[in-house]
Amino acid sequence: MRINSLYTKIMLSFFTALAAGLACIVIIFILIVENRFNKHVQNELIAAFRITSKGVELLASEGNIDDPVAHAELRHYIKDLDVIFKGQVWLEKPDGTVFLSSRPRTVPKFTISNEKYQDRLFYADVKGLPEADFYFAYPVTVFGHNATLAMLRRDDIYYRDAAPFFLMVVQAVGIFTLLLAFPVIRRITVPLRKLEEGALRCASGDLSYRVDMKRGDEVGRVARAFNVMADSVENMLRMKQELMANVSHEMRSPLARIRVALAIAEMRIEEGRTEDALRHLAAVSQEVEDLDSAIGGVIELSRFDAGGAYRVFTSCDLAEMVRSMLQRYAPTIDMKQLQVEVDLPEHLVQDCQKEGFNAIIKNLLENAVKFAEQGGFIRIELAAENAGAVLAVSNSYRQLSEKEISLLFQPFSRGVGEDVPGTGLGLALVERIAVDHGGGVVVENIEAGVRFAVRLPRPRKDESAS
């Protein structure tokens, strides 16, 4: 069955990782800690058993091996050894007869395996005896006779007592961790549900919805990115709506004038007034040119909105491009008797979007020549800076208000009271190209005029390569 819930996936992943981690701890404890601990305890036990054997010999240095009275003090000692070693301890004669034991019952029968000797000490594994795992035997001298001090003992009792407790602790830690995992995972999945809700609401047309999430982690960053995306989409759609409204308005007026001019021209032709008809037809031709220019501007702006404008960077001589464009406006400059100030380096080579930079120069020069009054001035400056180049075009004009400056780069925006023909798209296109190039446009009032400065940073290597 395929799991689609992120909550369930995270929980299962967490549970699997936790189970694997706890299993590794248990395995490591069993394979490494247990063996090392048992070996360490066994070595200590062997050493202690040797010392104990010497104690038995000291207590049984005098007396008769068959005298029960002589056994009293030794019997107490043997019982103490039972408590200390937690196993049955006894003394037996060479023929195997037990003459003193720490427990009243007889020594049980058992078989041994894996016999080992270490400095007269004999020890082996016990088989067939549930209450014992090891057998120890050490030769001693008791009451002047040879005897054997023996002991049956379980595997490390301390470990057997501690192991269940350790496993219980591991289980408790696992359960407690799982209980803590529920609120932690909910803290991740609940914000994701909010993001899902926001995406669905935006998809249904509610672009004003924003995800309210104040978190500094990855989920919070995704939420903020979602809000930025929603802002961008909302602004883009609003701009498109405004553009369409402006286009409709700008197109309707010329079309109405064309319709009227054609009707009048038709009437004048019928009346035989051909010169008057030609004048109206010339007006129609001018309106068509204005429409064509407006449509071209709209197409250029649409290319930027679609992300497909001027993406190719090539090596360009910016200074030469400015000079070439300036020559195209020489007739208009002469007609308006404008004073031209030029501050250009001989060469300024930089990778740029060639068509885009040409459009910037064209629209800035066209704007300056168009709005400079008769006998005024225009000034063109181009300079290199550490991060790229700056192109500035100034022209004589009245001082602009802050509101007018803020509206300059909006499509179809026109100055208050301006009757100069134009589409109102040139400066909007300049800003789009500059921003797409990684730069921007700054407008400021200067003495007796206005200055437009465009900053064009050097493109990154990956952009230049494209």
How many degrees, rounded to 5, is the angle at CA 365 between CA 255 and CA 338?
105
What percent of the chain stands above pLDDT 90?
Answer: 13
Residues 446-463 pLDDT 10s: 988 999 999 988 876 555
Instruction: Please count the residues of the chain.
Output: 466
Residue 310 has pLDDT above 70, yes or no: no
Residue 1 has pLDDT above 50, yes or no: no
CA-nearest of 158, 147, 30, 34 to 91 is: 147
Residue of 244 and 40 predicted with greater confidence: 244
What distance separates the 2 farthest-apart alpha carbons in the chain? 164
Cβ 268 vs Cβ 276: under 8 Å: yes
Cβ 368 vs Cβ 426: under 8 Å: no
Which one is the CATH code of 6-160: 3.20.20, 1.25.40, 2.60.40, 3.30.450?
3.30.450
Q: What pLDDT sits at residue 421?
A: 56
**Mean per-residue pLDDT, 387-398:** 91
Residues 418-432 pLDDT 10s: 555 555 677 888 888
Q: What pLDDT sits at residue 328?
A: 86
Q: What pLDDT sits at residue 341?
A: 94
DSSP 144-194: TEEEEEEEEE-S-HHHHHHHHHHHHHHHHHHHHHHHHHHHHHHHHHHHHHH
> Rg for the chain (alpha carbons), in Å?
50
User: What confidence category does residue 322 fall into, taking pLDDT thresholds of 50, 70 and 90?
Assistant: very high
> H-type helices in 329-401, by residue range?
330-335, 354-371
- The Cα–Cα gap between 294 and 247 comes to 8
User: What confidence category does residue 318 fall into, taking pLDDT thresholds of 50, 70 and 90?
Assistant: very high
**Mean per-residue pLDDT, 29-47:** 63
* Helix, strand, coil share (%) of the chain residues, nearest 5: 55, 20, 25
Q: What pLDDT sits at residue 451?
A: 94
With H, G, I as helix, E, B as strand and everything else as coil, classify residue 445. strand
Q: What pLDDT sits at residue 307?
A: 54
Q: What pLDDT sits at residue 417?
A: 46
User: What confidence category does residue 25 fall into, taking pLDDT thresholds of 50, 70 and 90?
Assistant: confident
Q: What pLDDT sits at residue 54?
A: 83
Average pLDDT taken over every residue of the chain: 78
- The Cα–Cα gap between 412 and 398 comes to 20
Cβ 189 vs Cβ 6: under 8 Å: yes
- The Cα–Cα gap between 44 and 276 comes to 127
Residue 13 has pLDDT above 60, yes or no: yes
In the Cβ-directed half-sphere of 416, how many Cα atoms lie within 13 Å?
10
| Residue 218, token pair as written in the block | 């990855």
Q: What pLDDT sits at residue 378?
A: 94
Q: What is the pTM of this model?
A: 0.46
Residues 97-109 pLDDT 10s: 888 888 887 788 8
Element (H, E) at 242: helix 218-271
- The Cα–Cα gap between 364 and 362 comes to 6
Q: What pLDDT sits at residue 465?
A: 45
Residue of 75 and 156 predicted with greater confidence: 75
| Residue 205, token pair as written in the block | 């047309």
**Mean per-residue pLDDT, 136-150:** 87
Q: What pLDDT sits at residue 345?
A: 92
- The Cα–Cα gap between 440 and 453 comes to 8
Residue 201 has pLDDT above 70, yes or no: yes
**Of 129-143, 151-165, 345-359, which range is least confident?**
151-165
Distances (CA, A) of 117 to 128, 189, 302, 363: 22, 65, 96, 104
Residues 236-272 pLDDT 10s: 777 677 667 666 655 666 677 778 778 888 888 888 8
CA-nearest of 389, 382, 368 to 446 is: 368
Residue 37 has pLDDT above 80, yes or no: no
Q: What pLDDT sits at residue 277?
A: 79
DSSP 303-318: HHHTT-SS---EEEEH
Which one is the CATH code of 314-415+423-465: 3.30.565.10, 2.60.40.10, 3.30.70.20, 2.60.40.1120?
3.30.565.10
**Mean per-residue pLDDT, 291-317:** 68
Q: What pLDDT sits at residue 50?
A: 81
| Domain locations in the chain as residue ranges | 6-160, 218-305, 314-415+423-465
Residue of 458 and 417 predicted with greater confidence: 458
Cβ 430 vs Cβ 359: under 8 Å: yes
DSSP state of 33: I
Q: 218-305 — its CATH code?
A: 1.10.287
- The Cα–Cα gap between 410 and 407 comes to 6
